[in-house]
Amino acid sequence: MAKLKATVIVRNPKTGAVTALLAGSAVPDWAEGLVGDHLLEQERKAPAKRPAPKSDDK
């Protein structure tokens, strides 16, 4: 589940209840299509490992 960068208020389409989704919390399944990508934290991937430099020993 994605986490939110900011707090957002959405209406639950099944119940009609207005719900605050707090920054740092996970987006519930029912709200995924209601929250814009600009509000979602990017998943952080481990940095790519660089190959060791080749030595110029001759």
The model carries a pTM of 0.66
Query: Could you state, in order of their start, the residue ranges of all structural domains in the chain?
Result: 8-39
Predicted local distance difference test score (pLDDT) of residue 42? 76
Residue 30: how many CA atoms within 13 Å on its side-chain side?
11
Task: Give pLDDT, residue 44.
Answer: 60
Residue ranges of alpha helices (H) inside 1-58 are none
Residuewise pLDDT in 10s, the chain (58 residues): 789 999 999 999 999 999 999 999 999 999 999 999 899 987 666 566 777 777 766 5
DSSP 8-state assignment for residue 40: B
At 58 the pLDDT is 59
Summarize the chain as % helix, strand, coil (round to 5). Answer: 15, 20, 65
Phi, psi angle pair for 27, to nearest 5°: -80, 125
